[in-house]
Structure 1
Amino acid sequence: MRSPISAVTIVKNRTEKLIHLIAQLEQCSPTPDELVIVWMAPPSGLSLIKSDKFDIVHKFTTQGELPIAKARNKGMQAAKHANLAYLNVDAVVSPSLFKDGLLALKDNAVIFTSVVFLPGERCEKPYSDISKCEQQIGYLASNDDTLPKEDNNEIPSKDQEINHGKFSDDSVCSTVFFIRKADFQKTGGFDEGYAGFGLNDEDFFTNCRALGYSLEQLPTRTFAPQRPNYQCPVNHLLDFVHNAQRFHAKWGFYPCTEVLTAYAEKGFIDSNYEENGLKVLQLPEQEDDPTKSVPSASTAASSSTEFEFTSFHSPAKNQERLSSTA
């Protein structure tokens, strides 16, 4: 049975994660009506993969590689349903995800799941097996009351204010979230002016709040591979500073201040950046990839270059669709 919702994901090189995600969605009850896959790199042998349980729409460009924000926007805009679910390609989702999401979804709202970060190899198991194991040892969820008080620097901090912290809850909310397509269109989508690493999620959900949308968490849990320690992501210094400058210009405050504080402690930026302005004072050592440059205005502009997309649809199915009043 299908539900009246479009699922959207983006993929570049992690095709094994995509295969795992499709297999999970096929086990959902109900399934989505369609899965829109945006390929961030040129087509591969999996660019025509199909499913017997739902339609799959492939969107890709043959012109270079696609930035994350543009890929997300293309997928959300290409979806045919009024109800959208965005999923990270490496997410391990509950079989009841779409039932739960549709029941909670409403206008002017973003609905997201809590996220439990686990070692990557444990995320290769079926959801039911992971869930049973985690119930035995205790959850380490990103945004629920089971989060330990002491941060371990590998999971997001719950104790934050308005997108501040080495991880923000907003960067976790984007793992799996539901939104009406009309509401997504009102946001203007993910800001394609952010380049490289960091802060696009924080910007999107800050925009949602500015529009008066409510952000509401489902009791449904999603599992995801543990992220690296981003308390001080040195290799992404220039991207992060550029994006923090853009964020501040839009919203009037700096996001993820613990990251910026860590940069300041290492001498990469001025510790008094709030008053003196945020700028790079020195680059990391050679092993920390000093060859990267701060994205210029032309670099940011290039991210809005038009890409030619091609769509492929799997054959239409005549399966029963689940009605919803959500």
Structure 2
Amino acid sequence: MRSPVSAVTIVKSRTEKLCNLISQLEQCSPTPDELVLVWMAPPSDLSLIKSDKFDIVHKFTTQGELPIAKARNKGMQAAKHANLAYLNVDAVISPSLFRDGLLALKDNSVVFTSVVFLPSERCNKTYSDISKNEQQIGYLASNDETLPEDDNNEIPSREKENHHGKFSDDSICSTVFFIRKADFQKTGGFDEGYAGFGLNDEDFFTNCRALGYSLEQLPTRTFAPQRPNYQCPVNHLLDFVHNAQRFYSKWGFYPCENVLNAYAEEGYINADFKANGVKIVQLPEHEDEAAITPSVDTLSPSSNANTVAFTSFHSPAKNQEVLSTTA
């Protein structure tokens, strides 16, 4: 049985995760009515993958690669149903996800699941197999009340900040969430002015709160691969600073102060950033940062961000040839 909801996901190169997600969606009861699949890179042999359980609508970029925010927005806007469910491509979802989400979803709200982080190899198992071992796993979700008392380097910080500025929780909210399409449109979607790493999720959910939307966490759990410790993402310093400046200009406060404080403690930004704005003091001395350019003031979103062309169509019949990679 299908439910009146459009599932949306984006994928670049993790096609094995995509195949796993589609298989999970087919096991859901009910299933979504459609999956809108946005390809962030040129088409591949899997770019016309189909399902017997629901429609799959493929959307492609025909010029280079597609940034995450733009890919998300295109997928959400292309969905045909009033109810939307966004899913990260590497999520391991509950078979009851769409029943639970639609029961909780209402106007002016965002409904999201708890997220349980696991070693990557465990995420290759089915949801039921993972759930059977939940006592041995332990719940490692930073938006979950069953967190252990002490954080570790595998878990994003649980420290609460003012103005809902937690780096971890808002990032986790976007792993799987439901929203009405009309409400998504009122937000203007994910801000495509954020460049590279960090703060787009925080911006989106801050926007939802500013519009008066309620954010409700389902008891339903989603499993996901463990994330590295992002308390001081040195290799993303310039992206993060640029995005923090953009966030401050929109909302009047800095998000993820734990990350900015870590940068300040390392001497990469000024310690008085709250009073005088964030400024780069020095760049990290590390081989991974060799490609970083020294002037954050010159950073801006890619000039071709709004010129990406799209093609969209439904999956072919079973005997139809797959799309050529030169299309």
Change (3 A) 1:101 1:120: same
Name the structure 2 match of 1:309.
310
Which letter maps to 1:307? Answer: V
SS in 2 for 1:300: coil
TM-score relative to the length of structure 1: 0.93
Aligned Cα root-mean-square deviation (Å): 1.6
| CA-CA distance at 1:86 after TM superposition | 0.2
SS in 2 for 1:185: helix
| CA-CA distance at 1:297 after TM superposition | 6.3
Change (3 A) 1:295 1:7: farther
Q: Is the 8 A contact 2:48 2:316 kept in 1?
A: no
Separation in 1, partners of 2:199, 2:245: 10
| CA-CA distance at 1:141 after TM superposition | 2.4
Alignment of 1:291-310 (within 5 A): 291-293=291-293, 299-300=300-301, 302=303, 304-310=305-311
Structure 2: gaps of 5 or more residues:
318-327
Q: Is the 8 A contact 1:38 1:75 kept in 2?
A: yes
Separation in 2, partners of 1:153, 1:303: 37
Q: Is the 8 A contact 1:164 1:258 kept in 2?
A: no
Percent sequence identity is 80
SS in 2 for 1:227: coil
Q: Is the 8 A contact 1:192 1:303 kept in 2?
A: no
Q: Is the 8 A contact 1:67 1:303 kept in 2?
A: no
Q: Alpha-carbon deviations, 1:148-177, whole Å to 9, x = none?
A: 121113223334133434x33101000000
Is 1:229–2:229 an aligned residue pair? yes
TM-score relative to the length of structure 2: 0.93
Which letter maps to 1:108? Answer: N
Which letter maps to 1:199? Answer: L
Separation in 1, partners of 2:147, 2:286: 37
Name the structure 1 match of 2:168.
168
Q: Alpha-carbon deviations, 1:270-326, whole Å to 9, x = none?
A: 11111122011111113131422356667315254222111121369xxxxxxxxxx
Q: Is the 8 A contact 1:55 1:313 kept in 2?
A: yes
Which letter maps to 2:6? Answer: S
SS in 2 for 1:299: coil
Q: Is the 8 A contact 1:283 1:290 kept in 2?
A: no
| CA-CA distance at 1:13 after TM superposition | 0.7
Q: Is the 8 A contact 1:86 1:178 kept in 2?
A: yes
Count of residues in Structure 1 that have an aligned counterpart in Structure 2: 315
| CA-CA distance at 1:68 after TM superposition | 0.3
Which letter maps to 2:315? Answer: S
Q: Is the 8 A contact 2:82 2:180 kept in 1?
A: yes
Q: Is the 8 A contact 2:110 2:215 kept in 1?
A: yes
Is 1:191–2:191 an aligned residue pair? yes
Change (3 A) 1:311 1:178: same
Alignment of 1:107-146 (within 5 A): 107-146=107-146
SS in 1 for 2:113: strand
